[in-house]
Chains A and B, each alone.
Chain A
Amino acid sequence: MSINVLLVDDHVLMLMGLKELLEKEADLHVVATLSDPSALEETIGRRNPDVIVLDVRMKTKNGIELAKIVRQEFPDLKIVILSGYNYDEYIDAARQAGTDAYVTKEKSNTELITAIRQVCQGRRIFPYQHREQAGEALTAKEREILRQIAADKTNAEISEELSISKRTVEYHIASIMRKLDADSRVGAVVNGIKKGLLNV
């Protein structure tokens, strides 16, 4: 039995790319693509898809608001939010809007496909957030970065010193903060000292 998918994204090229990608899978069938979300409800009623994939930001509509409306009218429909943002706030908002999955766009294509399949089995898929990781051990790189933070270095300085991109630095710091159960760099350093990760 194939899964019927409806794609909604106001970026036509993206829409085409996604369609091509999903059509390669035997068990997925794209019933329609929509670049204008104003006709969404009507299309859902007509095409009766199992899953809709919604872009979080469209020119005229807000994907999360749209998801809320769809959730109210079609409670059994699975909603996957496809987003360019990897911020906790967006993920939380999507979760609260009653969507079933949140996938960031730059993640590998297989992730979206897996998400669609799993959602149809009744699971909810969201990128890991804070709490789940607290207490895990830091990697060597992360310990190095924590030392740099304690030495009062800025992100730019750290990125230069370790010759990694600023994005990676930021990613590592976020990870450090999660693992040390802190919500700021200052807190991370304090907790790091408590745990003996830093020599004072």
Chain B
Amino acid sequence: MKKKMIPILFVFIFVIVNLYCLGRVLTDRSLLRFLSKVSSIDYYYSLLFIGLMFVGTGLVCFLKRPDSIVIRSFFYLMYTSGFAIALSNASGLDVLPGKEIEVITASLAPYFLIRFFEFFPSSSKPLFFQYIRRVTLLLAAIINIVFFCTYPYHLSRSPELLQFIRIALIANVCISLIACICLTYLHLKMNSSKVKNQLYILIASLVLSFLPVLFLSLIPAILHLANIPFFFSLLSIILFPATLAYLLTMQEIIDIKMSMRPLLFEILALLLSLVSVNVLFFLFYPLTPELFYRLNGFMLVILAIYHLIQKIVEPLVKREWTSKEHDIQREKKIILQQILNGQHLASCGRLIVNLIHQTVDINGACLIWKKNQAPKIIYQTGIFADGRLADACMQHLNHKKNEHRSEALNCHIFPLDNEQGNKGWIIIGQKINETHLDRNERLLLEKIQSDAAELLTSTETLSGLGRELRETQNRSLSQEQFNHALLIDREEEKRKLSIYLHDEVLQNVILMANKVEALHDEQIIGDKAYLEMKEIFMNGIYDIREMSRELHPFMVEDLGLEQSLQALKRKLQNNYNVVIQTAYDLSLKVISKKLAIQVYRMIKELLYNAIKHSSSPFVSVSLKSLDHSLIINVKDKGKGFKIPASLSNLTEENHLGLITVQKRVDQLGGRFDITSEEGKGTSITITLPLERSDELEYQRTAGR
């Protein structure tokens, strides 16, 4: 509510200020004469109309979606520019708040323009844009400070100062426009064709809206050239809010079209009723302008009051509705919760007792069920409701075995038995008319008794099963987490080991090799012994290095994914009879090092897998990015294999590598698709989401 109040207040101020200015102009003869000398009163009206249209467009959009940040920026943009436009004439005539408000709004409009474009086609933006936003805000502040600081000395009315302010304002507009065009260009390069299309429309509208004003009147005016009247060039500005509103509807941030339709019908209905009332009324009365205005004014006021009352009453009615709905929802939630907690037994018992009540007219019934051999009252009605009688019955029954009628307690007892023996009882009080149970009734009750036993037993088993299922689910979940932790741990271990091998063992071996070389240089070791030792050292260094590389792909961290894949390709082509084709196309997307390592490992695993199992001479790898995901495809034209129904069955066929990859993909929240046909080859596609952090990283690089 509060959120909506502020813009409405703003619009209210807009209306009041403009009405005041208009009033001043209309009442003051000298002003009117001056105005007609410079332009005309119609021109003033048209400017007011343009401003009102701006502000109105903004307000309508805002009221539809007060939470959308785009729309909010849109509203402020529309409001400031609309206000500035509407007051431009009043400020020219020196009507009091005209110039002041015009300076404030016109100086702030570029800032809001940039704010709007920060979010408009999409919320990603380069860093420079934020700087420009600050610059425009700073310029606006400077303009305002200069204007209002000189205000008390009446300097603000001097033509030199006004000229300066005008230039500053235009500079501000130009800066923001250029920034917006740059951003639009960036978006054009990256976004889908749908957004592109919208952006083209937007660019066209921007150019058409602002260029005529800039080139036909403002710049010539500064340079003291002959200029086309402001009036004509200004008309084009309406294009801008119209286009923006169109874009906002097309992008489905808000849908003006949908909301306009009922409004249109309402207005039509209003006009129709006004016309018909007028026609009817003037059939009987003479048509005079005064009477006409009075009648229609009266009608409009009545309609307005009607609408107002409706608006007030509507929320009250709605609240009642919602509170009832709320109750139902709460009840539903309780029942659902009961079911989840395994309390089917209670609801089942209630149903059975209700059934008994419907079958026989009795003064009370009670259902007792043994849970873990301890009898417990599940549901009770009538004479059993206070619980004492039921307790007494329970005591009695625990000692004496099954009887159909307990004389002492004056009630009927129906034991509930199943394979495991007695499980409980149904106790039924006296019939309300004090007669005995007749044969038919007894038969019916016995039927209920056997059904109830069955039903309650199965309910109990069911709830037991549910509990077990939940437990198993929990166990499997923790198992999953454990697996995950193990996998991470294993990778960390490998990394540590790899670092140790490379940084400690390898360096020491190299040091030793160098020492041996130094000794050889000093003729302490003979040539033959040196060459032999050198060969051993070289092999050792090679082995350690390969092992270190095998354990952790450091090259990915050092040189990046593309280079590492190139190295992997070279190594595989060097060591196996295979040709690998790589296609690497991530354009501007930057992948975090963590993800890059994972991706590298998966591709490596899949490549080795393809070489080992498919015996295909040709394997292709492709890596590309699409919107917010990374798509990896590894394809061979080899043997192929039959894919088991569940991927986890792959273990049986020694495809452990594939499972590891699949698990990894799962953890990264991606998708693993495999298609294979015997004799035709295998294709594996992995789709990974690019994390938020990646996005941020990307934005940072774009801003550089």
User: What residues make up the interface of A, taking CB atoms closer than 8 Å to B?
Assistant: 10-11, 13-14, 17, 21, 56-57, 59, 62, 64, 84-85, 87-90, 92-93, 105-106, 108-109, 149, 152, 154-155, 165-167, 170, 173-174, 177, 183-187, 189
B341 part of interface (Cβ distance < 8 Å): no
Contact of B518 with A109 in the complex, beta carbons under 8 Å = yes
Contact residues in A for B567 (Cβ distance below 8 Å) = 87-89
**CB within 8 Å of A: which of B225-245?**
none
Contact of B510 with A14 in the complex, beta carbons under 8 Å = yes
Alpha-carbon gap, A155 to B574, bound state (A): 9
Contact residues in A for B557 (Cβ distance below 8 Å) = 62
What is the chain B residue whose CB lies nearest that of A24?
Answer: B518
Contact of B541 with A174 in the complex, beta carbons under 8 Å = no
CB 8 Å contact bits of B556-572 with A (1 = contact, 0 = none): 01110001101100100
Alpha-carbon gap, A89 to B549, bound state (A): 14
- From B315-323, B378-386, B532-540, B640-648, the one touching the partner chain is B532-540
B542 part of interface (Cβ distance < 8 Å): yes
What is the chain B residue whose CB lies nearest that of A65?
Answer: B558
Closest CB of chain B to A57's CB: distance in Å?
A: 7
**CB within 8 Å of A: which of B494-513?**
499, 502-504, 506-508, 510-511, 513
Q: Which of A10, A89, A174 has the most CB of B within 10 A?
A: A89
Closest CB of chain A to B503's CB: distance in Å?
A: 6
B162 part of interface (Cβ distance < 8 Å): no
Interface of B is mostly: helix
What is the chain B residue whose CB lies nearest that of A94?
Answer: B559
The answer to whether residues A174 and B574 also contact, given A56-B558, A165-B539 and a CB cut-off of 8 A, is yes
Closest CB of chain B to A39's CB: distance in Å?
A: 20
Query: CB within 8 A of A59: which of B503, B517, B539, B541?
Result: B503
Alpha-carbon gap, A92 to B570, bound state (A): 14
Contact of A84 with B506 in the complex, beta carbons under 8 Å = yes
**Beyond A85-B555, A184-B580, A185-B578: 12 further Cβ-contacts under 8 Å?**
A14-B510, A21-B518, A62-B557, A84-B507, A89-B563, A89-B564, A90-B559, A106-B537, A154-B575, A183-B570, A185-B576, A185-B577
The answer to whether residues A167 and B538 also contact, given A14-B510, A105-B510, A187-B579 and a CB cut-off of 8 A, is yes
Contact residues in B for A105 (Cβ distance below 8 Å) = 510
Contact residues in B for A154 (Cβ distance below 8 Å) = 575-576
For chain B, the bracket of interface size reads: 35 or more
Contact of B538 with A84 in the complex, beta carbons under 8 Å = no
Contact of A93 with B510 in the complex, beta carbons under 8 Å = no
Contact residues in A for B539 (Cβ distance below 8 Å) = 165, 167
What is the chain B residue whose CB lies nearest that of A184?
Answer: B573
Contact residues in B for A92 (Cβ distance below 8 Å) = 563
Alpha-carbon gap, A155 to B537, bound state (A): 20
Query: CB within 8 A of B577: which of A89, A170, A186?
Result: A186
What is the chain A residue whose CB lies nearest that of B512?
Answer: A17
Closest CB of chain B to A158's CB: distance in Å?
A: 10
Contact residues in B for A185 (Cβ distance below 8 Å) = 573-578
Alpha-carbon gap, A17 to B564, bound state (A): 31
Contact residues in A for B573 (Cβ distance below 8 Å) = 183-187
Alpha-carbon gap, A46 to B511, bound state (A): 29
Contact residues in B for A64 (Cβ distance below 8 Å) = 558-559
Query: CB within 8 A of B507: which of A13, A177, A189?
Result: A13
Alpha-carbon gap, A165 to B532, bound state (A): 13
Alpha-carbon gap, A173 to B577, bound state (A): 12
